[in-house]
Amino acid sequence: MVTSNPIRDRHATTPGGMAVFLLLIFIAAVLYAASATTQAQPATPCCSDRWDPAREQRGHWGPGRMGEGQRQRMARHWTFMHEGVPAEYAGQENPFESSADVVSEGGQLYATHCALCHGSEGLGDGLIANSLSPSPALLARLIQMPMAVDAYLLWSISEGGQAFGTDMPAFKDVLSEEDIWKIISYLRAGLPSMSEDSSGLNDQDIAR
């Protein structure tokens, strides 16, 4: 008859080792519970559509985390990258030299037609921005991207977002092409503040 279990015997003879083993399991369980609690309460809600430069810097962006609005917004960029702009906009360039006059005229037009959604500084935070999905683009950031060539901007502003199901209005029947170019000049100048006396702008301020 077998009377001794070698495994039980080994544990029985090393109670100190067993205690350390149990302690390690306990610590692992506590650590796991702590990390699970942190994950269960994210600081920001998942998959918000809002542009969030801080989130972008934290490197949390990627197709897997994109909300529906973000996908619609990206559709415009992807269409441009794969197909370019429609023929009537291809190769178009701003006929205006950047000057204080052109930039301030563009600024007035921007304040009247664009700021409501895109915000006075192009940060996507205009008065009605929160009611739109996808949210208005961060034009201050877009204008620094290689994609933001003249033809791309003219196309986006003229045709709006109908093809992509967004609230970006088409301006080709609202503004003359010249006015759209002036707005583009204003964007390129970095959306200088128009809130005070806009005649304060001078050619040195906007020279590039």
Q: What is the DSSP letter of 125?
A: -
Minimum distance, C-beta of residue 81 to ligand HEC, in the bound complex (Å): 11
Q: What is the DSSP letter of 187?
A: H
Residue with smaller CB distance to ligand HEC, 99 or 160: 160
Residue with tokens 């619609």: 72
Q: Is 114 strand, coil or helix?
A: coil
What length does the chain have? 208
Q: Is 31 strand, coil or helix?
A: helix
Q: Of all helices (H) and strands (E), which one includes residue 72?
A: helix 68-83
Residue with smaller CB distance to ligand HEC, 76 or 188: 76
Residue with smaller CB distance to ligand HEC, 142 or 206: 142
Minimum distance, C-beta of residue 166 to ligand HEC, in the bound complex (Å): 3
Residue with smaller CB distance to ligand HEC, 107 or 136: 136
Q: Which long-range contacts (CB under 8 A, 24 or more apart) does 91-94 make?
A: 91/151, 92/150, 92/151, 92/154, 93/150, 93/151, 94/150, 94/181, 94/184, 94/185, 94/188
Residue with smaller CB distance to ligand HEC, 166 or 201: 166
Minimum distance, C-beta of residue 30 to ligand HEC, in the bound complex (Å): 46
Minimum distance, C-beta of residue 148 to ligand HEC, in the bound complex (Å): 7
Rounded Cα distance between 162 and 169, Å, is 8
Minimum distance, C-beta of residue 115 to ligand HEC, in the bound complex (Å): 8
- Residues binding ligand HEC (CB under 6 A): 73, 76, 113-114, 116-118, 132, 134, 136-137, 139, 142, 153, 156-157, 161, 164, 166-169, 171, 183
Residue with smaller CB distance to ligand HEC, 101 or 160: 160
Minimum distance, C-beta of residue 111 to ligand HEC, in the bound complex (Å): 10
Q: Is 52 strand, coil or helix?
A: coil
